[in-house]
Amino acid sequence: MKTELMLSWRYLVTRRKEKFISLISFISVLGIAIGVMALIVVLAVMTGFDRELHDKIVGNQAHITLTGFEPIDNSQYPILKERIVSNKSIEDISPTLQGQVLLKEGEKFFAVGLKGIEPKQEAKVTKISKYLFLGNLGDLGQGNIIIGKELAAYLGLTLGSNITLYSPLGKQHILRVSGIFSSGMYDYDLNLVFTDLKTAQLIFALPNKFSSISIKLKDPDLAARVKEELVRTIGFNYSLKTWQEANQNFFAALKLEKLVMFIILALIILVASFNIISTLIVMVVEKTKDIGVLKALGLSSKGIRMIFTLQGLIIGVVGILLGALGGVTLCALLKKYQFVKLPQDIYYLERLPVAIELWPDIFLIVTVAMAIVLISTIYPASKAASLKPVEALRYE
């Protein structure tokens, strides 16, 4: 093995008459490096999107939402609460009343989702209190409303402004803006507003009733399992939906997009591997005499195959290492300086998120690249190994 490696390295680095082989080798290394770097950067961005949107969605939504097929009466809440919190995976719960309303400011009308909450309990279930940058969640009393940053900008509202609200029954209500929040998710900041539970009950004409219970878990990833446990605890008179189910199409699309991008960009490495094949084939032709001499001296066909296989692997490893180093460096720069800004109304986020994951992303990229490089060496190495000493030296 030591002899084969020494010969492989010597064939690659020694100066040859055939400069074309050196050029193809350089292009091969560059092609693999670009492919690996592109894969690392794109998958880091896709993973960053996935993680960032995951955090935003979990912060804005309950981990599990319990909804009644009919409005739930306040008198039912103590019994439901006792059954729900008996599950050790549940951290806290909060009753809510949600529906669609129409806001009017001047000549502008805008339909939004209105969520009636109990401020103290909601702060234990979602991150609404952390998202507030104007006002205080504790100030959300009867007749007050909290709106998103994007909605405030669209309607020209600020803290203390009054806004006209029309209920589904057509009744008009005047509410005062007591807070403005920014969740970092454009859709939420534009289409969701909060008021206290009693005000929502008045607007929707549902006194002493609420529509759902927001449930927070100690571990959001256990939502599916806890949902099954709750079904057995509270029965089938209520609908339970996890945060994954509420956003399953969105996350499925992200996962599919990540897979497609991986396949497309892996083709860059595949194309670069053809250059490795070309390099090795030309080198086999150039080194026909050397192969004949080595075989005549007793080197086996396996040893010849190993020499050219190692040559291809050296080219591939250099390209992969350069690409990995370049990709991780570029990701680190994107993450630190955030010089790529995104339009929030299209991408939900205001900056390009980057998350470098050694497992499984970078490990998978390096493994696939090495597999492609190894496969690309099979034919040229086998061709070299099949040469017979007499034929190799016949015309020398």
Q: Are 92 and 121 in contact (CB under 8 A)?
A: yes
Domain boundary among 213, 246, 279: 246
> Average pLDDT in the 24-53 region?
88
Number of domains in the chain: 2
Domain boundary among 190, 221, 246: 246
- % pLDDT > 90, the chain: 46
Same-domain check for residues 11 and 72: no
| 335 pLDDT higher than 80 | yes
Q: Are 228 and 76 in contact (CB under 8 A)?
A: no
Pick the closest to residue 372 from 320, 305, 308, 307 (CA basis): 320
Q: Say if residue 71 is preceded by a cis peptide, omega within 30 of 0.
A: no
Binned at pLDDT 50, 70 and 90, residue 13 comes out as low
- % pLDDT > 70, the chain: 94
Same-domain check for residues 47 and 85: no
Same-domain check for residues 297 and 370: yes
Tell me the per-residue pLDDT of 195-206, one tens digit each, with 9 for 90 and over.
999 999 999 999
Q: Which residue has the higher pLDDT, 202 or 55?
A: 202
- Residue 358 DSSP class: I
- Locus of tokens 């929040």: 181
DSSP-based three-state secondary structure for 366: helix
Same-domain check for residues 224 and 173: yes
From 114-118, 151-155, 250-254, the region with the lowest mean pLDDT = 250-254
| 16 pLDDT higher than 60 | no
- Residue 386 DSSP class: T
User: What six digits make up the tokens of 12?
Assistant: 């690659």
Same-domain check for residues 108 and 179: yes
Q: Which residue has the higher pLDDT, 132 or 395?
A: 132
The pLDDT value given to residue 319: 92
Same-domain check for residues 66 and 129: yes
Give the Cα separation of 375 and 128 in Å (integer). Answer: 53
Ramachandran area for residue 160 (φ above 0: left; ψ -120 to 50: alpha; else beta): left
CB neighbours of residue 133 within 10 Å: 10
> Average pLDDT in the 41-70 region?
87
Same-domain check for residues 73 and 203: yes
The pLDDT value given to residue 206: 93
Domain, as residue range, for 267: 2-57+250-393
Same-domain check for residues 260 and 242: no
Q: Which residue has the higher pLDDT, 326 or 289?
A: 326
Same-domain check for residues 16 and 48: yes
Ramachandran area for residue 289 (φ above 0: left; ψ -120 to 50: alpha; else beta): alpha
Considering only the C-alpha atoms of the chain, give the largest distance between any 2 of them, rounded to a whole number of Å: 101
Ramachandran area for residue 354 (φ above 0: left; ψ -120 to 50: alpha; else beta): beta
Tell me the per-residue pLDDT of 114-151, one tens digit each, with 9 for 90 and over.
999 999 999 999 989 899 988 889 888 888 999 999 99
The pLDDT value given to residue 25: 78
Ramachandran area for residue 143 (φ above 0: left; ψ -120 to 50: alpha; else beta): left
Q: Are 326 and 33 in contact (CB under 8 A)?
A: yes
Ramachandran area for residue 338 (φ above 0: left; ψ -120 to 50: alpha; else beta): left
Tell me the per-residue pLDDT of 279-313, one tens digit each, with 9 for 90 and over.
888 888 777 888 888 887 888 888 889 988 988 89
* Strongest mean pLDDT among 67-71, 164-168, 290-294, 379-383: 164-168
The pLDDT value given to residue 266: 87
Same-domain check for residues 16 and 106: no
